[in-house]
Structure 1
Amino acid sequence: MGSVANGLHVIVFANEKGGTGKSTTAVHVAIALAARGARVAAFDLDHRQRTLGRYLDNRAATIQRTGRELPMPRHATHDGESDDFFAETIARLSQGADFLVIDTPGRDDKFARIAAQSADTLVTPMNDSFVDFDLIGQVDPDSFKVTRPSFYSELIWETRKRRAKADGATIDWVVLRNRLQHIEAKNMRRVAEAMSQLSKRVGFRVTPGLSERVIYRELFPQGLTMLDSREFGEMGLAHVAARQELREMMAGLQLPDPQALAVVA
């Protein structure tokens, strides 16, 4: 796999918990980059759920059915078993791409670990709750202060050390806070404070993600995203808010400009 040094920026979405909006976020990032004119490829490593792969398959079918021109990443889905298929598909998708977006399963997985070590940007979406926070850190039950990083934080720490030793590159680890509408304000504040404490200890950045919106789930069958507003009629206030949220998330990821990557390549 490559990095910005050879004109490819690898973005890996990884979280060993399900239900965090990981695949939906990965799709939106891939299409947002393609809409900016970047050459984008996407690889779904979750051969069971196949959410990213099916989302983009649905998008390709919508393009074919309607004749509309929509930004469309090249994509493939792993079989979950073959080392050769993994390596060959990575090589094929990386060819001529500015960005490679990789979606990993919501569980520990050999290929997810390989992908994580090759990331330039590693994105961990999390819901605003201590149930999800437990993946990366443990807190005191009374004070809610962070007591120690979790196994997953330690795993990413080791992954970043191995990457630095291998080629001197830095993995930018970003934790996306997906806002859950049913979580009370006091609890959200406690989670935010715990994340801030832990980020200083293990070295990740925290940035706002996407809310728990029905809109995102409704767009899946057609493979559409919040960027395709002209394709699904009038936009209500919820759509406008979701698009703004997506813009803020993209800004928070601080990904390189596609034109800058083209110059490097």
Structure 2
Amino acid sequence: MAHIIVVGNEKGGAGKSTVSMHVATALARMGHEVGALDLDLRQKTFGRYVQNRQAYCAEHELSLPMPRYTDLPNIDPATLGPGENIYDHRLSAAVAALEEDSDFIVIDCPGSHTRLSQVAHSLADTLVTPLNDSFVDFDLLARTDGSADKVEGPSVYAEMVWNARQLRAQAGLEPIDWIVLRNRLGAQNMVNKQKMEKAVDTLAKRIGFRTAPGFHERVIFRELFPRGLTLLDLKDIGVKQLNISNVAARQELRDLVKALELPGVTADF
């Protein structure tokens, strides 16, 4: 069975699609068969990222490693039994179509609570939650007091992950390996940044997730998306000398893939 990696949280702008694309293409570059699903049926940023890559390769006659992307199939409502949810069937059919020929399936979730996102979290072998380095986004995971020094309790998203873990346990499946990325980091070591690090580490022990390094805020990510490219493709498209920022970003990607501790994977790319 394919190892399912779900990239999710319930806030937009945290870099979910960027993380999804870079992890998926890194795995493909290492020789793994990777399937890809985008559950944000309105924006489809991850899906468009893959399509941009396909178009760029076709235009420039390149063959770059990439995941095998598929849309959710349509389901005839007449085939559903009483109480069955059509989105459950659409997601199950898509996963089944990819699973037979994939080592990994990367699923990008929308930045809101949806039925599809909820079900996807229960399918996750590895759950990756990118988090902007701000207490505005920390509220996604937990409630804090007014000084942001004390964690008062888990958020609705953390409770959803807990419910997904319970469902997997009831089904006899391995527990979810939940990893939170402090993503889109700024360069300054400000007091807020130190508070965030302390709060995330404290919460990790309380509700059971691991932390891993994410990406710093870099212009290169916005430049790569329209062409469907990733940090690992720069030399393939003729960039002979990487600048310091690009070298650092590639190392961040290696550190991220290594921290995920995926089965049979080393950060050798």
Q: TM-score, normalised by structure 2?
A: 0.89
Cα deviation code 1:35-86 (max 9, x no counterpart) = 1100000001111111110000011111111122210110023379754433
**Structure 1 pair 53–13 and aligned structure 2 pair: CA distance change class (3 A):** same
Q: Which residue of 2 aligns with 1:142?
A: 147
Q: Does the residue aligned with 1:42 lie in a helix, a strand or coil?
A: strand
**What is residue 77 of structure 2 aligned with on the other side?**
none
User: Contact 1:13 / 1:104 at 8 angstroms: preserved in 2?
Assistant: yes
| CA distance in structure 2 between the partners assigned to 1:168 and 1:91 by the alignment | 17
1:10 aligns with 2:4: yes
> 1:183: how far off?
6.3
Pairwise CA distance, 1:236: 1.3
Q: Aligned-pair distance for 1:258?
A: 5.2
What is aligned with 1:3?
none
- Deviation, 1:221, is 1.0
1:91-106 → structure 2 map (5 Å cutoff): 91-106=96-111
Q: Which amino acid in the other structure matches residue 113 of structure 2? A: D
SS in 1 for 2:181: strand
The 1:232/1:106 distance shift into structure 2, 3 A limit, reads: farther
Q: Hey, what's the Cα distance between the residues in 2 that align with 1:18 and 1:87?
A: 25
The whole-number CA distance in structure 1 between the counterparts of 2:66 and 2:207 is 35
* Inter-partner Cα distance in structure 1 for 2:7 and 2:181: 10
Q: Give the secondary-structure state (helix, strand or coil) at the position aligned to 1:227.
A: helix
Q: Which runs of 5+ in 1 are unaligned?
A: 1-5, 260-265
C-alpha distance 79-140 of structure 1, shift in aligned 2 (>3 A): farther
Q: How far is 1:203 from its partner?
A: 0.2
Say whether residues 1:19 and 2:13 are aligned partners: yes
For 1:194 and 1:71, locate their aligned partners in 2 and report how far apart those are by CA, in whole Å. 38
> In structure 2, which of residues 40, 62, 67 is the aligned counterpart of residue 73 of structure 1?
67
Query: Match for 2:215: what amino acid?
Result: L
Once the two structures are TM-superposed, the CA of residue 170 in structure 1 deviates from its matched residue by 0.9
The match for 1:236 is: 243
C-alpha contact (below 8 Å) 1:126/1:177 kept by paired residues: yes
Structure 1 CA distance for aligned equivalents of residues 142 and 238 of structure 2: 40
Query: What is the 5 A alignment of 1:1-265?
Result: 6=1, 8-78=2-72, 82-142=87-147, 144-181=149-186, 185-230=190-235, 231-233=237-239, 234-257=241-264
- Displacement of 1:179: 3.9
Q: 1:201 to 1:83 in 2, by over 3 A?
A: closer
Match of 2:81 in 1: none
Number of residue pairs aligned between Structure 1 and Structure 2:
253
Kindly provide the amino acid, as one letter, of the partner of residue 54 in structure 1.
R
Residues 128 and 183, structure 1, Cα contact 8 Å, conserved in 2: no
TM-score by length of 1: 0.90
Residue type of the alignment partner of 1:226: L
Matches of 2:147 and 2:223, distance apart in 1:
40
Equivalent in the alignment of 1:262: none
Supply the RMSD in Å over aligned alpha carbons: 1.8
Contact 2:15 2:184 in 1 (8 A): no
Q: Aligned in 2, Cα 1:25/1:143: closer, same or farther, shift over 3 Å?
A: closer
Identity among equivalent pairs (%) = 48
Q: 1:212 and 1:143, CA in 2 relative to 1: closer, same or farther beyond 3 A?
A: closer
Q: Distance in 1 between matches of 2:188 and 2:47?
A: 30
Cα contact 2:7–2:20 (8 A) shared by 1: yes
How far apart, CA to CA, are the structure 1 residues paired with 2:265 and 2:244?
Answer: 31
Give the distance between the partners of 1:83 and 1:179, measured in 2 at CA.
32
